Amino acid sequence: MPHTAHRYLAEGPRVGIRHFTHGDADEFTARARESADLHRPWLFPPQGRDAYAAYAGRLIEDPTKAGFLLCERDGDGIAGFVTVNNIVQGAFQCGALGYGAFAHAAGRGLMREGLGLVVGHAFGPMRLHRLEINVQPGNAPSIALARACGFRLEGYSPAMLHIDGAWRDHERWALTAGEPTSGLSSWCPGR
């Protein structure tokens, strides 16, 4: 299915973001299988149709989650994804980001552009005030992306999340709306 510009929630020079759909299963899972070596041991996106259906279903139906596909505007292929999890409204207005590039798009700056668009959407239409990224200390590319997008290191949490069969330590990075950041690009709405 072609991803036309009017389907994007926000666009940058090379990337547009849109919500996950059930119809993205074949492309997403193929990209996840091709990217397994890149993602391991940090990330485990669904590689089969049933797993994708459950994953996308949660992102589509659960109001405490939102999922965004990063699509290359030149060819419209899915380059990566960003999820906003644990969305809390009220006085907190916060969400936790998770993200991954697919191997064919890694190292090309598409994730930085796409993450900037998602941050702008989260602080704009989603009306969140704070975003957090929790990263395992050895995941240098993910830490570099958080830093490049203006997130600040707030702390270190031992045994924070259970991933791949063990409790893993994480660094906690955060950004709040209205905070001056040099990392978020001009295509990020509200920046």
What pLDDT score does 6 carry? 60
pLDDT for the residue numbered 181: 62
The model's confidence at residue 161, banded by pLDDT at 50, 70 and 90, is confident
Per-residue pLDDT reduced to its tens digit, 58-72: 999 999 999 999 999
Torsion of CA 53, 166, 153, 89, to 10 degrees: 40
What is the pLDDT confidence band of residue 174, given thresholds at 50, 70 and 90?
Answer: very high
Q: Is the pLDDT of residue 3 over 70?
A: no
Residue 171 has pLDDT above 60, yes or no: yes
For the cut 90, the answer to whether the pLDDT of residue 180 exceeds it is no
Q: How far is CA 181 from the centre of its chain?
A: 18
- The reported pLDDT for the residue numbered 39 is 87
Residue 98: is its pLDDT beyond 90?
yes
- 145 in Cβ contact with 99 (< 8 Å): yes
What CA–CA distance (Å, rounded) separates 126 from 15?
Answer: 20
- Of the candidates 11, 15, 55, 16, the one whose C-alpha atom is nearest the C-alpha of residue 32 is 55
User: Residues 17-43: pLDDT tens digits?
Assistant: 999 999 999 999 999 999 999 888 888
Q: Report the 10 Å Cβ neighbour count for 143.
A: 18
Residue 29: CB partners within 8 Å, gap ≥ 6?
Answer: 46, 47, 48, 49, 51, 52
